[in-house]
Each structure stands twice: as C-alpha cells, then as structure tokens.
C-alpha cells in the first residue's frame, strides 16, 4: 500500500542564492550504490576526489577535503578549529555571513573585532591593517563572495597584511569557488571553505575545505580539542590521510556527485568557467540596464555569480517573485536584513549560469513589470 | 576532455555495520532536481517528511526532523543542545559509541559519570538507578543498538527511573530505528537520533532526530546558546516550524531519498519490518550454528540488525574479509577496540536484510574457511 504519493515536484529554473541547478550527469551518478567506508575502492575514490578538490581550489594543501555538512558547516569548522577561548578574531562584516561568523565565534569564546562596511560594499584593506595595529589577532576572516549583498571582496594584498601581523587568513568561498578566480595558494589563504550547491553545480550537503601548512601548524598548537567533535579537523584528517581512522560514515551519494561536479568544472577549464560566469552576469546586467533597472553594487565590486537588483519603486517584491515562480517556474530571492524589500538576489551559478535562463528571466520580468 | 574516468565502482553486498544497501527506488529519487529551500512545494515536502518521520519514530513529538549531517551529527546535537558546562551526564558505556558520547560531552564541559558493562553485554537498570542515587543528573544516555558489539539495550522501565530522578533520557537509535521496535513515546525517550544508512535503507548524510516536550522545555531553559551553531536546535527548529527562518540550505537529494526510505518502511509496515530483520538474523544465526561458529552476544541481548560473530580459532581475520570482498563481493567488518581480531560484525539492515544475502555469505564462508 502506498502511504503517500510519488515524489512529484514542479520543475524550477533556479536563479536564487542556491541551491543552483545540477546537471543530469551529476544527478545520475548519485544512483551508484553505496560502498563501504574502508573499501579499498572507496579509499582510492577519496584520494582522487582530494586531488580534484586541490585542482579546483588551486592549492597544494595536503589538508584538503570535503566535510560532511553544508557550506554552513564549513564556516563552523573554520571557527571551531582555529579559534580557542580568548583568541582575538577580526571579522569583515559587510553582509549576513560576516555577522554569522561573529555569532559563531562568540559561542566558542573568541573575542570578536568587527570591521564593517555597508551591505553592498567591500571591506577596505586599511580597515584590516588598522584592526591589526590595535593588537594581535589569531585570525582575520573575510567573505570572498557575499551571497546576501552581491559583493566580491578583492583579496589582493590582504594576506601580506594579515601574515605580517602573525594572523591566519580565513576566507568564505561559498559562492566564489568555481565561479570566480579562487587561487588559495597564490592568494595566501590559510583556511577556506565552500559549498557544493553553488558554482560547483553539485547537490547540497558537503563543504569543500582546505587548510594551508601554516593553518595546520596552528591546529597542532591548540591547547584543547575543539568543543565540536563532529567537525574536529584533527580527527577528520586522520580518515582522509593514510591512517584511514574511522570518524563517521561519509555520504557516498554526495561524494559521487561532488566528484562529478569537480570533473565537469575541470573539463570546462577553470579559466573558461570563470569567464562564463562573468559573461553571463554581464549579459544579465546589460539586459536589466536596457529595462532601466539598476543594480545595488558598483560595477567594480560586483560578484558575477550573484547579482543584487534594486527593486524598482512601487513594485510589489513578494508579488513579483510569486508570479515568476508560479507563471514562469523561475526562482529568484528577496533581500536579507537591511536589504529586505530593497533588492532581488539573482544567482547565476554553476549549471544555472546559462544564457537561456537569463533570457527567460528577462522575458518574464518584462511581462510582469 | 575527460579529466578522470567515469565513476565505476565494483558491486558490493553490504553486510557491514553500514552503509547498508539502498533500494533502486530510493536511489532513483535522488535524480530529482533540487528546489529552493523556501519554495512552497519544498515546505510542503518538509511537512510530509516530518509526518513520516514521526510515524517511523512512533511519536507525536512536534520537534521531529532530520539534521544535515550523518548519525554522528545526531549524537553531537543531542549532547551539544541538552548539556551545559557543569551538567552531570550519566552515560552507559558498553561499546564504542558510549565512549564517544563521553568524549563529546567532556568537550562541552559536562561532568560525565560512566556506567559500564563489558563489550557484549547491556547496561543493567540497577546501574542507572545507583548512578542517579549518587546525585542529580541532567541527562542519562544509553545506546539502544551498539553497532560495535551487537547488543540490543532493553529500555523497559528505564524512563521511569530516569524521569523519577528528574533527568532526561537520551537514546542512540542509529542502528535500531526501523530495524527493531523503537517507540519513542511509549518508551518515554526525551532525545533520540538515528542515521539514514542503516535500517532505514537510505543513503548516508542525514540524522533523524526527535525531542519530547520535556526535552523542548529543557532546551528553552538553557542559560546560554550551545557552542555548536550548525547543530543548534533552537534555531534549526525555526526553519522546520512555521517561522521557516533560513538557517542553512538543506540537501534536497538526501531528503528526497530519506522520504522514499520512510515511505518504503511504512509501506512494508513497521511490525513486519521488525519481524523481517529478526527472522533474517535468526536465519544467519542458525546457519552459523550449523557451521559450529558461535556468537559473541547471549541470545536474549542480540541485536538483529548487527551480529557479532566469534572468529574461529586460527582463522586469519583480515584475510577472510579480504577474500569475501575480492572473491564474493561481500563486505563484512572487523571488530573495534577490545573486540578487534575477536569478532566479525555482520550487518543485516534495511535493504541489505535479505535471505539471498545470508545464503551468499554462508556459502562464501563455507568455501573460504
């Protein structure tokens, strides 16, 4: 007896802040049956996945892996592992996710120094230097791609300032990895995490994570283990390295999908993929300009995978989004916090970053507005 | 250009401690494209998934959901949310997972009292009563189904003792849910978690979780939020209830699969499913007895989903497991800790609990031994 109906969700063109669309090729590999977490074939799979992750992150970091949680678990792991009670933590807050870092860090007993910019602007390097001059810090965190505001944070020269003051540089790459240039080693980033459901074009559920040798040295100097056992890198690393020590059972389905997403990104080529994300964003921006609709972020700070669109005066924000969804099967998102009711957030990430999707959105907006 | 080969793992009969096999029906739904985390169709999906979860848990608990992590994240959530620094936590330790609870709880600053039994025996009720007589405790934890030892913990009368002393009862149901009778409300359990890749027959990656009204009241009385933001039930609950407040992006693929696993469990019927797990385990036990191979756990405490088999004298433990895997594509597991080299662990869980799998294992063992 069937206890409920077969799964039957409506199709959607996903142009929100994530999840983004997943290619049929990635979806299909998830039907591969599971395999044991110590099976030699699975261990070989993990080694290959790690190599693909390093290539996409543009890093040689040995400690590169995918955590068993969403992108948010990546942020938590960065904070839980690299901060101890009393450590000073300098956080660039220019959107929702910087605020979340402050919340998390306070829970672990860190002393948080916020450096702020309006929602829609980047953090300036001088602000970081000033905060470091006021006293030493364990770590400085920036959001590379603020999904709540559509700002791409320029990281040029930041690592020199941070390392010069003896601190680690942590960067949130949730919406940047595989969508805009992310070069962990060249940028001097010590701790970075991302998510699978944004520009990587895989389903939600894993958090790609990478730690520099300097970051590993800091981990080894901890006085006490982190409170967070599930995300404790010191023990998780022993499963990903030659020890193969059991920590928890990984989700084979999600890892199969992530590997396929990574392969597709590398087959396309990172440079070409970054260029595709930018070209499609520019197409969207140009079409909106033709409609006299303006954008929230100045051109030089715009994040191609996520555009914040100023809602034209007198337009019914939720009403338009509802019509887009119901009449055109298109999802875009509203704004958070100070941008609620002021902007729409349009994501062009991974497999969703396609010209036909932009044409559909523009056509639908012309019909509705 | 293909950068690596197509995914091509060997087939396996998964008779280890998990992951267990996933039915084609469950695997197939994962190819359903993702949908937005605030889409009305997704929210309706979540409501239905919650109702199915309550039915499988046999509970009316409003706070019933699936966490975005593996079963281990369920254990961490139970400890991180229900214990505060200084709280006394009584833990039944008769295997690997009881020890893990102690490790986690110490990280969150709890004062841990262990009550111990040998690996292969259950905790006795009198031990719990004695520990509670020595002083008040915030929570008492037991492992319902110890995957490391193959013991099923009898919970009859335990809730009365625990509640009589003003404590909460936390139970690890990772290997029991949908494989042996689990009746949260009837058993008086306040906090329980499970995993999807064991008797539920879904892929790894989510942790079904349920909290009694008494547990919810305890959550509301916390002095400070838990250190663990990612698993903070107070905020996660606000996404699963009518607030629909964004916390993190759920993995649609894993939830689609979990819903299908729950439907299949309820279509089979819980009573029939429990009986199937027991009948198949008894078939395995009888066949092993014919081979003069004995079991580690006394009949009255045996856990049908996981059997610990005494490795016959003079037999090469890893060698046999390797031949099972390489010549018969069968996975079983070795023992942990004090049982390393002494037992094999044979899982008969969910879609893996099938007579043909047992026939294959017995046939292979006869060939190899």
Assigned token pair, A207: 């958090």
B interface test, pick of A16, A228, A233, A261 with most B CB neighbours within 10 Å:
A228
Assigned token pair, A79: 């904070």
Angle at B200 between CA B199 and CA B205, to 5 degrees: 110
Residue B333's pLDDT band (boundaries 50, 70, 90)? Answer: very high
Inter-chain residue contact B19 with A252, CB threshold 8 Å: yes
A4 at B interface, C-beta within 8 A: yes
Which among A31, A252, A267 has CB closest to B28? A31
Q: How far is B157 from chain A (nearest CA, A)?
A: 31
d(C-alpha A288, C-alpha A275), whole Å: 20
Inter-chain residue contact B331 with A36, CB threshold 8 Å: yes
Answer whether the bond into residue A19 is a cis peptide, omega within 30°. yes
Q: Among candidates B307, B308, B326, B305, which has minimal Cα distance to B368?
A: B326
Inter-chain residue contact A69 with B68, CB threshold 8 Å: yes
Q: How far is B251 from chain A (nearest CA, A)?
A: 5
Find the mean pLDDT for residues A12-30: 97
Taking CB atoms and an 8 Å cutoff, what residues of chain A touch B357?
none
- The interface residues of chain A toward chain B in range 10-49, judged by CB-CB distance below 8 A, are 10-12, 14, 16, 18-22, 24, 27-39, 41-42, 45, 48
Find the mean pLDDT for residues A263-290: 98
A interface test, pick of B27, B37, B251 with most A CB neighbours within 10 Å:
B251
SS3 for chain A, per residue? CCCCCCCCCCCCEECCCCCCCCCHHHHHHCCCCCCCCCCHHHHHHHHHHHHHHHHHHCCCCCEEEEECCCHHHHHHHHHHHHCCCCCEEEEEECCHHHHHHHHHHHHCCCEEEEEECCCCCCCCHHHHHHHHHCCCCCEEEEECEECCCCEECCCCCHHHHHHHCCCEEEEECCCCCCCCCCCHHHHCCCEEECCCCCCCCCCCCCEEEEECHHHHHHHHCCCCCCCCCCCCHHHHHHHHCCCCCCCCCCCHHHHHHHHHHHHHHHHHCHHHHHHHHHHHHHHHHHHHHHCCCCECCCHHHEECCEEEEECCCCCCHHHHHHHHHHHHCEECEECCHHHCCCEEEEECCHHHCCHHHHHHHHHHHHHHC
Inter-chain residue contact A204 with B69, CB threshold 8 Å: no
pLDDT for the residue B198: 98
A226 at B interface, C-beta within 8 A: yes
Q: Evaluate if residue B262 carries a pLDDT over 90.
A: yes
Assigned token pair, B366: 């006869």
pLDDT for the residue B1: 45
Taking CB atoms and an 8 Å cutoff, what residues of chain A touch B31?
24, 27-28, 30-31
d(C-alpha A132, C-alpha A149), whole Å: 26
Taking CB atoms and an 8 Å cutoff, what residues of chain B touch A47?
none
Dihedral sign of CA atoms B361, B362, B366, B369 in order: positive
B367 at A interface, C-beta within 8 A: no
Which among A7, A19, A21 has CB closest to B32? A7
B270 at A interface, C-beta within 8 A: no
- The interface residues of chain B toward chain A in range 118-157, judged by CB-CB distance below 8 A, are none
Which among B37, B76, B109 has CB closest to A229? B76
In sequence order, the β-bridge partners of residue B65 are B209
Find the mean pLDDT for residues B241-258: 97
d(C-alpha A40, C-alpha A238), whole Å: 16
In sequence order, the β-bridge partners of residue A307 are A346
B335 at A interface, C-beta within 8 A: no
Q: Evaluate if residue B123 carries a pLDDT over 90.
A: yes
The bridge status of strand B145-146 relative to strand B151-152 is antiparallel
Q: Evaluate if residue B2 carries a pLDDT over 60.
A: no
Taking CB atoms and an 8 Å cutoff, what residues of chain B touch A204?
34, 249-253
Q: Evaluate if residue A187 carries a pLDDT over 90.
A: yes
Which are the contacts of A256, defined by CB distance < 8 A and separation ≥ 6? A29, A30, A32, B7
Q: For B292-322, what is each residue's pLDDT tens digit?
A: 999 999 999 999 999 999 999 999 999 999 9
By C-alpha distance, the chain A residue nearest B247 is A72
Inter-chain residue contact B227 with A229, CB threshold 8 Å: no
B248 at A interface, C-beta within 8 A: yes
d(C-alpha B273, C-alpha B146), whole Å: 19
Which of the two residues, A2 and B83, has the higher pLDDT score?
B83
Dihedral sign of CA atoms B168, B174, B175, B181 in order: positive
Q: Evaluate if residue A95 carries a pLDDT over 80.
A: yes
Give the count of beta carbons closer than 10 Å to the beta carbon of residue B347.
29
Unique residue bearing structure tokens 């590993």: A216
* Cα A231 to the center of its chain, rounded Å: 17
A357 at B interface, C-beta within 8 A: no
B interface test, pick of A17, A33, A101, A345 with most B CB neighbours within 10 Å:
A33
Long-range Cβ pairs for the range A45-49 (8 Å, 24+): A45/A255, A45/A259, A45/B9, A46/A240, A46/A255, A48/A259, A48/B4, A49/A255, A49/A258, A49/A259, A49/A262
The radius of gyration computed from the CA coordinates of chain B, to the nearest angstrom, equals 21
pLDDT for the residue A4: 79
pLDDT for the residue B250: 97
Assigned token pair, A232: 């404790």
B323 at A interface, C-beta within 8 A: no
Q: Among candidates B174, B165, B118, B122, which has minimal Cα distance to B140?
A: B165
d(C-alpha A236, C-alpha A86), whole Å: 25
State chain A's mean pLDDT as an integer: 97
Q: Is the ipTM of this complex over 0.85?
A: yes
Residue B4's pLDDT band (boundaries 50, 70, 90)? Answer: confident
A172 at B interface, C-beta within 8 A: no
By C-alpha distance, the chain A residue nearest B225 is A107
Taking CB atoms and an 8 Å cutoff, what residues of chain A touch B70?
68, 248-251
Find the mean pLDDT for residues B67-88: 98
Which among B14, B37, B260 has CB closest to A34? B14
Q: For B154-188, what is each residue's pLDDT tens digit?
A: 999 999 999 999 999 999 999 999 999 999 999 99
pLDDT for the residue A3: 62
Cβ-contact A146, A296 below 8 angstroms: no
Residue ranges of domains in chain B, CATH in brackets? 13-19+269-368 (3.90.1150.10), 24-266 (3.40.640.10)
Q: For A67-83, what is each residue's pLDDT tens digit?
A: 999 999 999 999 999 99
By C-alpha distance, the chain B residue nearest A22 is B33
In sequence order, the β-bridge partners of residue A169 are A140
Q: What are phi and psi of B35, to 5 degrees?
A: -140, 155
pLDDT for the residue A1: 45
């Amino acid at each position: 007896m069937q206890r409920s109906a077969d799964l039957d969700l409506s199709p959607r063109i996903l142009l929100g802040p994530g999840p983004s669309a997943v290619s049929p090729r990635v979806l299909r590999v998830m039907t591969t049956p599971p395999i044991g977490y110590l099976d030699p074939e699975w261990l070989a799979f993990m080694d290959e996945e790690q190599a693909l992750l390093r290539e996409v992150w543009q890093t040689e970091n040995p400690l590169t892996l995918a955590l068993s949680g969403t992108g948010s678990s990546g942020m938590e792991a960065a904070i839980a592992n690299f901060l101890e009670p009393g450590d000073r933590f300098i956080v660039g807050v220019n959107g929702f996710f910087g605020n979340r870092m402050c919340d998390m860090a306070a829970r672990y007993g860190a002393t948080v120094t916020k450096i702020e910019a309006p929602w829609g602007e980047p953090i300036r390097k001088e602000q970081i230097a000033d905060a470091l001059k006021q006293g030493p810090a364990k770590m400085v965190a920036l959001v590379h791609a603020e999904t709540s505001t559509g700002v791409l944070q320029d990281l040029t020269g930041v690592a020199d300032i941070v390392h010069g003051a003896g601190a680690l540089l942590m960067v949130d790459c949730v919406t940047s990895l595989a969508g805009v240039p992310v070069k962990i080693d060249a940028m001097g980033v010590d701790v970075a995490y991302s998510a699978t459901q944004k520009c990587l074009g895989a389903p939600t559920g894993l958090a790609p994570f990478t730690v520099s040798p300097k970051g590993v040295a800091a981990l080894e100097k901890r006085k006490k283990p982190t409170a967070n056992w599930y995300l404790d890198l010191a023990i998780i690393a022993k499963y990903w390295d030659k020890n193969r020590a059991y920590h928890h059972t990984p989700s084979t389905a999600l890892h199969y999908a992530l590997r396929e997403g990574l392969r597709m990104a590398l087959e396309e080529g990172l440079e070409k993929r970054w260029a595709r994300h930018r070209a499609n964003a520019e197409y969207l921006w140009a079409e909106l300009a033709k409609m006299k609709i303006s954008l929230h972020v100045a051109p030089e700070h715009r994040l191609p995978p996520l555009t914040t669109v100023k809602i034209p005066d007198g337009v019914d924000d939720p009403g338009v989004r509802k019509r887009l969804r119901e009449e055109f099967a298109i999802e875009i998102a509203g704004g958070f916090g100070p941008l609620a009711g002021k902007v729409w957030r349009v994501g062009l990430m991974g497999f969703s970053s396609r010209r036909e999707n932009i044409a559909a959105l523009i056509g639908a907006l012309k019909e509705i507005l």
